[in-house]
Amino acid sequence: MVPDEMFKQALSRLAAGVSIVSTARGEDRRGVTATAVCSVSAAPPTILVCVNSATGTCQMIKDAGHFAVNLLAQHHQPVAEVFAGRGGLQGDERFGHGDWIAGEQRGLPILSTALAALECRVDQAIEAGTHIVFFGIIESAYFAENPPLIFHGGRFHVLPAANAA
């Protein structure tokens, strides 16, 4: 088995889109920045997210049975940093950054200017080391057009505009 630091160094080379996984129970909201988000199936429409089991977000997803995935655009970098824990804000305090609305299906926290936001019902949860992998059936989706925010090599990046063909 490779040491933790070697694992982190190797995986830092994998470029990934940046998301905020959010959830709510009543008036209480939680959310974390994540790059471990993946499409699973189109029928039924299913995605997976990996959330550190030590976070309040993970516990609330388990309790509520629902989560949202907010795919971030380049202008969301400051919001991504807050939800990654930079600046020390916790829990509901983080939602003071960004323009958050309640989703129409479940009332989950949706970033109004996200590239896409998906409200999901937990279908399965599997413990994997320090994280829980949540498989979510997508119940609603929202879209916007903006360049995506990417994470690579321990830093945020923006893709250059594509040339029109």
The enclosing domain of 55 has a CATH number of 2.30.110.10
Q: Name the E strands within 16-94.
A: 16-17, 19-25, 28-34, 37-42, 45-52, 66-71
- Number of structural domains the chain divides into: 1
pLDDT for 145 equals 81
| Sequential pLDDT tens for the chain (165 residues) | 889 889 888 888 888 899 999 999 999 999 999 999 999 999 999 999 999 999 999 999 999 999 999 999 999 999 999 999 998 999 999 999 999 999 988 999 999 999 999 999 999 999 999 999 999 999 999 988 888 888 988 888 887 765 555
Q: What residue numbers bound the domain in which 106 lies?
A: 18-153
Q: Is 0.85 surpassed by the pTM of this model?
A: yes
133 vs 70: CA distance, rounded Å: 17
141 vs 26: CA distance, rounded Å: 21
pLDDT for 161 equals 62
pLDDT for 14 equals 81
Q: Does a structural domain hold residue 60?
A: yes
Q: Does a structural domain hold residue 34?
A: yes
pLDDT for 165 equals 53
Q: Does a structural domain hold residue 97?
A: yes
Q: Does a structural domain hold residue 2?
A: no
